[in-house]
């Protein structure tokens, strides 16, 4: 019987197929490697709103460098940079005359539009200052982390301390974690977010406690709303509580699943009823990749619909991490505040 001979290229293909499915000696057969899991984007491909042009605003953030911006008509109209400045900006306010007052961890500084220093206070060794607010043209209120921690009102014209009282903390030696934000109310009292106590306390100008609320969460900031409620923000939650402490509105990252939004610091209720919330990016723990880093802020309606997402990490401008965003759509006088009899 005649022996059948296969073509040479057929033999090669057969041998290759056998090698593909036959494990080497002493090895177990393994299934093909699975494709890497897709990484969920940190934000939608199309963001709501008009980007930088949605609002005119003043912007500053807690970062490795000291940077502040004024954005008008979608473009940067003014900017301040101090890469060598020691400390992070945790609080800043643009006054009606164009001056800027800001707390930068190791001090408080007032500058004009030309960036000239008009007044400065260096925090004593072992203390930090992360929040500041003007009272009229001549006074500044700040909370000084330390042992003891204290609320201070100083007259920047005379240099005289006009009010001072101690405030409690959980650990007097753990200075950095004491406070980040405090705000005067329309009634002339002071709402202090006790970050290390997870508590919000309202004080009068003598230091007497008038009201408190323990929200069961990290408390970075608090503001008193026009309706008498208090809006509290911290980490992964924003909560509005009434004077009795009952929750009347709440926002969490679960409400915006299309966004990576989980390091909230300050929430502000806008005149239109919406809420503006920043999400901070920690430059000390990660590198901000302009292509993937999350949005810096969201404006949400009462029913939690996102109407504006701010994301400016590259072209045309890199605003950096966000902490405070002061909208400038309408003229305002942030220094028109009082603390008891101090005006």
User: Which pair of structure tokens corresponds to residue 215?
Assistant: 């929200």
Size (the chain), residues: 343
197 φ, ψ to 5°? Answer: -105, -5
Q: What is the pLDDT of residue 32?
A: 55
User: Which pair of structure tokens corresponds to residue 47?
Assistant: 């963001």
Q: What is the pLDDT of residue 33?
A: 52
Q: What is the pLDDT of residue 37?
A: 53
For residue 14, name the pLDDT band (cuts at 50, 70, 90).
very low
At 291-300, the pLDDT tens digits run 999 999 999 9
How far is 66 from 333, CA to CA, in rounded Å? 24
At 53-89, the pLDDT tens digits run 999 999 999 999 999 999 999 999 999 999 889 999 9
Set out the domains of the chain in order of their start, with CATH numbers. Answer: 51-223+310-327 (2.120.10.30)
For residue 315, name the pLDDT band (cuts at 50, 70, 90).
confident
Q: What is the pLDDT of residue 219?
A: 95
How far is 62 from 104, CA to CA, in rounded Å? 9
User: Which pair of structure tokens corresponds to residue 121?
Assistant: 């206070």
Across the range 107-128, mean pLDDT stands at: 98
At 131-141, the pLDDT tens digits run 999 999 999 99
How far is 54 from 72, CA to CA, in rounded Å? 10
Answer for the pair 296, 322: CB distance below 8 angstroms, yes or no.
yes
Answer for the pair 132, 156: CB distance below 8 angstroms, yes or no.
no
Q: What is the pLDDT of residue 30?
A: 46
Q: What is the pLDDT of residue 39?
A: 65
- DSSP H or E stretch at residue 222: strand 221-224
Place of tokens 């040479």: 8
How far is 220 from 261, CA to CA, in rounded Å? 15
Angstrom distances, CA of residue 103 to CA of 33, 182, 200, 230, 235: 53, 12, 20, 23, 20
pLDDT at 112 over 90: yes
Q: What is the pLDDT of residue 2?
A: 40
202 φ, ψ to 5°? Answer: -105, 125
Answer for the pair 57, 76: CB distance below 8 angstroms, yes or no.
no
pLDDT at 26 over 50: no
Q: What is the pLDDT of residue 217?
A: 86
For residue 216, name the pLDDT band (cuts at 50, 70, 90).
confident
At 94-106, the pLDDT tens digits run 999 999 999 999 9
At 154-191, the pLDDT tens digits run 999 999 999 999 999 999 999 999 999 999 999 999 99
pLDDT at 36 over 80: no
Higher-pLDDT residue of 68, 31:
68
User: Which pair of structure tokens corresponds to residue 318?
Assistant: 């890199």
Of residues 164, 166, 158, 239, the one with CA closest to residue 198? 239
Secondary structure of residue 250 in the 3-state scheme: strand
Answer for the pair 119, 102: CB distance below 8 angstroms, yes or no.
no
How far is 218 from 196, CA to CA, in rounded Å? 8
pLDDT at 151 over 60: yes
At 247-281, the pLDDT tens digits run 999 999 999 999 999 999 999 999 999 999 999 99
- Scored b (16 or more CB within 10 A) or e, 306-334 reads bebbbbbbeeebebbbbbbbbbbeeeeee
Q: What is the pLDDT of residue 139?
A: 98
> Which long-range contacts (C-beta less than 8 Å, at least 24 apart) are formed by 297-302?
297/322, 297/325, 298/256, 298/259, 298/261, 299/49, 299/54, 299/270, 299/274, 299/275, 300/251, 300/255, 300/256, 300/274, 300/275, 301/273, 301/274, 302/249, 302/273, 302/274, 302/275
**Strand boundaries in 61-189, DSSP class E:** 66-72, 75-82, 91-94, 100-103, 107-111, 117-122, 128-135, 139-145, 149-155, 161-167, 179-184
Of residues 277, 202, 272, the one with CA closest to residue 235? 277
pLDDT at 34 over 60: no
């Amino acid at each position: 019987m005649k022996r059948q001979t296969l073509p040479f290229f057929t033999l090669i293909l057969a041998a290759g197929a056998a090698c593909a499915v036959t494990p080497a000696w002493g090895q177990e057969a393994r299934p093909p490697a699975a494709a890497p899991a897709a990484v969920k984007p940190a934000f939608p491909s199309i963001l709501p709103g008009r980007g930088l042009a949605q609002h005119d605003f003043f912007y500053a953030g807690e970062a490795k460098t000291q940077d502040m911006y004024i954005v008008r008509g979608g473009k940067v109209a003014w900017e301040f940079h101090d890469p060598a400045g020691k400390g992070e900006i945790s609080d800043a306010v643009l006054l009606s005359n164009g001056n800027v007052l800001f707390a930068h961890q190791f001090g408080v500084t007032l500058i004009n539009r030309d960036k000239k220093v008009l007044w400065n206070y260096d925090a004593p060794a072992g203390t930090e200052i992360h929040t500041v607010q003007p009272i009229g043209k001549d006074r500044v209120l700040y909370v000084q982390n330390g042992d003891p921690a204290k609320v201070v009102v100083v007259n920047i014209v005379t240099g005289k301390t006009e009010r001072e009282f101690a405030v409690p903390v959980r650990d007097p030696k753990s200075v950095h974690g004491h406070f980040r934000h405090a705000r005067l109310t329309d009634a002339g009292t002071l709402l202090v977010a006790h970050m290390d106590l997870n508590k919000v306390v309202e004080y009068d100008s003598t230091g007497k406690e008038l009201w408190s609320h323990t929200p069961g969460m990290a408390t970075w900031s608090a503001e008193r709303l026009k309706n008498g409620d208090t809006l509290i923000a911290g980490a992964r939650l924003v909560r509005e509580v009434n004077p009795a402490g009952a929750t009347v509105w709440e926002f969490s990252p679960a409400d915006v699943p299309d966004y990576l939004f989980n390091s909230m610091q300050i929430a502000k209720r806008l005149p239109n009823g919406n809420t503006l919330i920043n999400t901070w990016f920690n430059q000390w723990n990660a590198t901000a990749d302009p292509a993937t880093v999350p949005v810096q802020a969201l404006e949400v309606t009462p029913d939690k619909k996102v109407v504006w997402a701010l994301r400016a990490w590259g072209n045309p401008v890199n605003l950096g991490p966000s902490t405070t965003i002061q909208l400038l759509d309408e003229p305002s006088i942030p220094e028109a505040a009082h603390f008891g009899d101090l005006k």
